[in-house]
Amino acid sequence: MIPVNDAYNESCGCPVCRLHEKAENNYLEYYLGPSLMEPDTRKITNKTGFCPVHMGKLNKAVTNRLGLGLVMHTHLKDFNEELNPKFKSAVPAKAGLLKGRNPDYKQKLNAVADLIDKRVKSCPICDNLDDAMGHYVEVICWMFSHDKEFKEKFVKSEYHCLPHTSLLLRQAAKLSQNEASEFVEALYSNNTQTFDSLISDVEYFTLKFDYRNTDKPWGTSKNSIQRSMRFLSSEGRDFDEQQSKK
Ligand SMILES: [Zn+2]
Ligand SMILES: [Zn+2]
């Protein structure tokens, strides 16, 4: 409950994004820390490696280059050992006059492609994060109906980004109808207010490009594109106003 309260104590942005970011940083640190040398963890990372997003984040966190190298080495070996025998046996034989055609080859090629796709996507950080976020939204729903102060903070939060609105709706679907009613009402009004204010701010932003409006003040519209991107996505960090100026 403490991390949930902390996330809702800050008034700007999506509180669930803050929970996600903190949990993600913890897992990134964990997988770059001493856990790397634990056989149980390595058994997992040898199989899974990391998804493209988390490889990028591990690469940026330059704290443990050697550890990352060791994990990559044993992951590559594991991937190679599983993939390449299947890959080799999937190479279709040339159909000649003597050898018959074998339509099986299509299935085999698709099976190898499926294996690659599945392994490329698999990631223990994503799995851990999904579990943690599932637990957090459970706590959020519980606190909403049991803690008046928290309910107020929830109602007043600047917005809940759309991916996290979806997560909260799925959790609300597990509540009793009465509990869900108040919670979803609050979530709905938060959502529709955000849509309305972003739509009007972005429209104003575009109207500012009309020469007749150049002297008008930007008001709250100046960073409305970045704010919209943060609302539409749970990955807020790449949409900061500084990046857009580069
Ligand atoms: Zn969010
Ligand atoms: Zn991942």
Ligand with smallest separation from the Cα of 121? 2
The reported pLDDT for the residue numbered 238 is 67
User: pLDDT by residue (tens digit) across 200-211?
Assistant: 999 999 999 999
pTM: 0.85
Does residue 121 register a pLDDT over 70?
Answer: yes
The reported pLDDT for the residue numbered 237 is 64
245 pLDDT tier (thresholds 50, 70, 90): low
For tokens 């940083």, the residue is 25
The reported pLDDT for the residue numbered 246 is 47
Can you tell me whether residue 97 is helix, strand or coil? coil
The reported pLDDT for the residue numbered 34 is 85
Ligand with smallest separation from the Cα of 28? 2
Can you tell me whether residue 50 is helix, strand or coil? coil
User: pLDDT by residue (tens digit) across 3-51?
Assistant: 999 999 987 889 999 999 999 999 999 988 888 888 999 999 999 999 9
Q: Are 168 and 16 in contact (CB under 8 A)?
A: yes
64 pLDDT tier (thresholds 50, 70, 90): confident
236 pLDDT tier (thresholds 50, 70, 90): low
244 C-alpha to ligand 1 centroid (Å): 20
The reported pLDDT for the residue numbered 244 is 59
Calpha distance 221→225 (Å, rounded): 8
Helix (H) or strand (E) holding 32: helix 15-32
70 C-alpha to ligand 1 centroid (Å): 34
113 C-alpha to ligand 1 centroid (Å): 33
42 C-alpha to ligand 2 centroid (Å): 16
Q: Are 31 and 58 in contact (CB under 8 A)?
A: yes
Taking residue 77's Cβ as centre, other Cβ atoms within 10 Å add up to 11
* Per-residue burial over 82-114, b = 16 or more CB atoms within 10 Å of its CB, e = otherwise: eeeeeeeebeeeeeeeeeeeeeeeeebeeebee
86 C-alpha to ligand 1 centroid (Å): 41
Q: CA torsion angle for 121, 125, 127, 133 (degrees, to 10)?
A: -130
User: pLDDT by residue (tens digit) across 143-195?
Assistant: 999 999 999 999 999 999 999 999 999 999 999 999 999 999 999 999 999 99
Question: What average pLDDT does range 119-128 have in this prediction?
Answer: 96
Task: Give, rounded to a whole angstrom, the gap between the first and last alpha carbons of the chain.
Answer: 39
Average pLDDT for the chain: 91
Question: What average pLDDT does range 232-242 have in this prediction?
Answer: 75
Can you tell me whether residue 118 is helix, strand or coil? helix
Non-local (6+) Cβ contacts of 44 within 8 A are 124
User: pLDDT by residue (tens digit) across 87-113?
Assistant: 999 998 887 766 667 778 899 999 999
Token digits for 191?
Answer: 């959502």
